[in-house]
Structure 1
Amino acid sequence: MSRSRPLIIGHRGAPGYRPEHSLASYELALDLGVDAVEPDVVFTKDGVAVIRHENEIGSTTDVADHPEFASRRTTKRVDGSDHTGWFVEDFTWEELAALRCRERLPKLRTRSADFDDRYPILRLRTLLDLVATAGDREGRAIGVVLEIKHATYFASLGHDVAALLAAELRSAGWDSGVRPLVIESFEQHILQRMRDRGIRAHFIYLLEAEGSAHDLLAAQGPDAPTYAEQLTGAGLDRLAREVDGISLDKRLILDDPRGDDGVVAEAHRRGLDVYTWTCRPENAFLSPSFRCGTTDAAFGDWEGEWRRIADAGVDGVFVDHPDLGVAFFGRSGADR
C-alpha cells in the first residue's frame, strides 16, 4: 500500500458518539472524513445480510422490550462459546426491521446512549448505497471494510454465505473493484470463497492475540494452528500466498518485544498489508501504561498509544471516534 499515512476506518461507524452500526453512526463517520467504514455482517432466517457486531442482539437493540419476541430468547453455542439472548438467524428481515439500535456500553458511552431507540437495524445494502452516494457527492473514494462474522456457524444453518454476499455486492455495484472494497474475516476459508466467486476486493485476515481461528478448529480440531503460529515466519509466508493482508489485535503490536523489527515489519517484508484494531481513547480500552485518572470512561494518554501504533508503520487503523482518528492519523508520518 503506497500511503504516507494509514487508512482511517470508522469502526462500526462512529460508535464513540452514536450506537454502533446505526445509520446515525455511519453518517457521522462519513461526515467526519474517514477513508472507509466497517460493517459487521450476519444473516437473518430468510438470508438477508444485516449489520450487527454479533448475531446475538439482546445488548444492542430493544428486542427485550418486544413481548411478541420473548419466546425467542434462548441459549446457543456459537464458535465454541455459549451465548444467551436473541439471535438474528431466528428472525426474518421484516421482523428485525421493527427493532431499534441501542448503545452496547451505556455506562461508558453515555452520550451515545442518548440516541438509543431512534434508529432501525441496517441492511448491508442500505450501507453500501449510503457510502457510494457519499463518495460520489464528495468526489472521493470512500471504502467499505466488510467483516464477515461467524461464517462457519451460518454455513451450519444452511446459509451459503459467499453466494449471499456476492449477490448483494453485485446488485449494489460493489463487486468490480471500481469502489474500494476490503473483505475481512477471522475465518480465512470464507475469504477464499469470496475470491473464488470473482469479487474484486482486498482480502484481509483478522488475527486475535490468542487462540485459533474457528474454521480451522472445526476442520482440524486440536491440530489447528494457533494465531501465534500463523504469525511466525513460516505462517506469514503461507498467509502471503493466500491473502492480501492481516489485521491484528493492537496488543500484538504494542506488546511486541521485537519493536521496530516486529510483526508489522515481518508482514511488510512479505508484501502483506497490516491493519490494527481498535484505536479508542477511553481508559477502559487503553493498554495499562497509557491510562490516566480513575474512571474507565475518562480519556487516557490515547495519543501516546496511537503514536506507538503509527510508528509501527501500519497500513490501516480502526477508530471509534473518527474525528480523533482523522486528526491524529490523517497527518503524514513526517508531520507527527
Structure 2
Amino acid sequence: MRRNKQLPHIKIISHRGASGHRPEHTLASYTLGARYGGDFIEVDLVSTKDGHLIARHESEIGHTTDVATRPEFADRAGTRTIDGAEVTGFFAEDFTLAEIKTLRAVERLPEVRPDNTAHDGDYPVPTLEEIIALAKALTKELGRPIGIYPETKHPAYHASIGLELEPPLIRALSEHGLAGPEPQVPVFLQSFEAESLQKLRDLELPLVFLMGTEEKWRHFTTPEGLAEVAEFADAIGPHKSMIIAVTDEGKLGEPTALVDDAHEAGLLVHPYTFRSENHFLPETLRSGTDATTYGGFATEYDAFFVAGVDGVFTDHSRHAFLAREIFMEEG
C-alpha cells in the first residue's frame, strides 16, 4: 500500500543545483535545478579569508575550481586537518573574496560526468548573497517558491580558525528577508553538527540534522535518539542507505523503521543523495555497463516515496520531478 499520497509536500532539493548537468555550486547549476522542477537550491557554505560565505563542496577548492592551474596561487597549496582528517590542496580560507572571484568552477566528477567538463571555466564561484538573489528571481520567473537550503560546512573547523559560519549566515538571511516564520522564500538550514544548528535557532527557520552512516550516528536513528534530535531540529537528513539499504545481491532492500520513527518524533525526513548514473545506482537498477549511463532511477525514487520520505536531495532534479509525477498518477 502506498503512503504519502499528498505528494506535492515531498520536496525536491537540488543538490548543489542540477549538478548532474552542470558543474556544481554555480548559478547556472542552481538555475537549471529550479527550472527542472527543484523546490530548493541546496548550498554548501564555506568562508573566505575575509569572512564572506561562498558555495563550495568543501573548504578545499582544488577539485572544484581551476585554482591548481593558476600560477599566481601556486604558493597557497597546503595541508590541513579538518574534523580529524588530513586534507591537502587549496583552501577557501586562504583567499579573499576578490581572489575567489577570479577563479572558475570545474566539474568535480569528470569520470562520471564527462559532459559537464565542457563547462569547465565558464562560471565563477557564487556568494550566499548572489544565491539568495537568484532564488528570489527564480521564484518570480517560475511563479512558484524556490527556496534555499544552506549547509554550514565543517562549522567547528571554521570556528577554530576564527571564521565562524553562523554569524554571517544569520546576518545575510536577516538582511534579505529570509528569517522568521514567513521568509520571502522558503529556507531550511542544515548541518552535521548540532551545535551549529543550535546557534541558528533564533532565526525561527526549520533546521535539519544531517546524519552519516558511521557508527557515531547509530544512536540518532533509534526512537530515543530521534527524540533527542527533535529537541533542537525539525528534520533529519540521513544517508539514503539508512532508510533503504542495498542488499548483497545488489537490490534495494526493505525499508527500515527510520522514516516512521522520525515522523513519530515529529521530524521530517530528507535523505541524500539521489543520482541517476549507473555508477551510483544499485547493480540491479543499472542499464548496461557504462558508469555514465542513466539507469533505473525512477524505481529507486519510487521505493523511497513509498517509504514515506518528505523530500529528496538529488543531483538530477528533472528525474526526481518526473518520478514524483509518475508516483502521483499511480498513487
Q: How many residues align?
A: 320
Given that residues 3 and 315 in structure 1 are in contact (C-alpha distance below 8 angstroms), is that contact kept between their aligned partners in structure 2? no
In the TM superposition, what are the counterparts of 1:54-93 in structure 2 within 5 Å? Answer: 54-93=58-97
For the pair 1:181 / 2:187, whether they are aligned, the reply is yes
2: CA distance between counterparts of 1:194 and 1:330? Answer: 34
Given that residues 245 and 255 in structure 2 are in contact (C-alpha distance below 8 angstroms), is that contact kept between their aligned partners in structure 1? no
2: CA distance between counterparts of 1:127 and 1:201? Answer: 18
Q: Secondary structure at the match of 1:94?
A: helix
Aligned residue in 1 for 2:299: 304
- Post-superposition Cα deviations, 1:88-123, rounded to whole Å, max 9, x if no partner, equal 000000000000000001121111111110110000
For the pair 1:125 / 2:129, whether they are aligned, the reply is yes
For the pair 1:4 / 2:7, whether they are aligned, the reply is yes
2: CA distance between counterparts of 1:259 and 1:40? Answer: 31
Given that residues 209 and 227 in structure 1 are in contact (C-alpha distance below 8 angstroms), is that contact kept between their aligned partners in structure 2? yes
1: CA distance between counterparts of 2:164 and 2:190? Answer: 17
1: CA distance between counterparts of 2:90 and 2:171? Answer: 27
- Post-superposition Cα deviations, 1:118-169, rounded to whole Å, max 9, x if no partner, equal 1100001100011012112333221111111000000001123221110111
Aligned residue in 2 for 1:319: 314
Change (3 A) 1:47 1:2: farther
Given that residues 256 and 262 in structure 1 are in contact (C-alpha distance below 8 angstroms), is that contact kept between their aligned partners in structure 2? no
Q: Secondary structure at the match of 2:68?
A: helix
For the pair 1:23 / 2:18, whether they are aligned, the reply is no
Of all paired residues, the percent bearing the same amino acid is 38
Given that residues 242 and 256 in structure 2 are in contact (C-alpha distance below 8 angstroms), is that contact kept between their aligned partners in structure 1? no
Q: Secondary structure at the match of 1:145?
A: strand
Change (3 A) 1:190 1:69: same
Given that residues 279 and 318 in structure 1 are in contact (C-alpha distance below 8 angstroms), is that contact kept between their aligned partners in structure 2? yes
Aligned residue in 1 for 2:138: 134
Aligned residue in 1 for 2:275: 280
2: CA distance between counterparts of 1:260 and 1:90? Answer: 44
Considering only aligned residues, what root-mean-square deviation do their CA atoms show, in Å?
A: 1.9
Moved more, 253-262 or 76-85: 253-262
In the TM superposition, what are the counterparts of 1:259-278 in structure 2 within 5 Å? Answer: 259=254, 262-278=257-273
Given that residues 256 and 263 in structure 1 are in contact (C-alpha distance below 8 angstroms), is that contact kept between their aligned partners in structure 2? no
Aligned residue in 2 for 1:235: 225
1: CA distance between counterparts of 2:310 and 2:164? Answer: 31
Aligned residue in 1 for 2:209: 205
Whichever residue aligns with residue 180 of structure 1, its letter is P
Given that residues 12 and 320 in structure 1 are in contact (C-alpha distance below 8 angstroms), is that contact kept between their aligned partners in structure 2? yes
The alpha carbon displacement at 1:260 in A equals 5.1
- Post-superposition Cα deviations, 1:280-332, rounded to whole Å, max 9, x if no partner, equal 11121113342332222122222222221111110010111111111112455
2:288 to 285, 293, 298: 293
1:107 to 103, 108, 111: 111
- Post-superposition Cα deviations, 1:177-229, rounded to whole Å, max 9, x if no partner, equal 3221000011111111011xx21211000000114xxxxxxxxxxxxxx2011
Whichever residue aligns with residue 227 of structure 2, its letter is D
Change (3 A) 1:125 1:183: same
Structure 2 segments unaligned to the other structure (5+ residues): 248-252
Whichever residue aligns with residue 20 of structure 1, its letter is E
Q: Normalized against structure 1, the TM-score is what?
A: 0.91
Whichever residue aligns with residue 155 of structure 2, its letter is A
1: CA distance between counterparts of 2:296 and 2:256? Answer: 24
Question: Structure 1 runs of 4+ off > 3 angstroms?
Answer: 256-261, 330-334
Whichever residue aligns with residue 162 of structure 2, its letter is G
In the TM superposition, what are the counterparts of 1:12-51 in structure 2 within 5 Å? Answer: 12-51=16-55
Q: Secondary structure at the match of 2:270?
A: strand
Whichever residue aligns with residue 192 of structure 1, its letter is Q
Moved more, 176-185 or 136-145: 136-145
Q: Secondary structure at the match of 1:254?
A: coil
Given that residues 8 and 329 in structure 1 are in contact (C-alpha distance below 8 angstroms), is that contact kept between their aligned partners in structure 2? no
Moved more, 301-310 or 182-191: 301-310
Whichever residue aligns with residue 38 of structure 1, its letter is E
In the TM superposition, what are the counterparts of 1:248-263 in structure 2 within 5 Å? Answer: 248-255=238-245, 259=254, 262-263=257-258
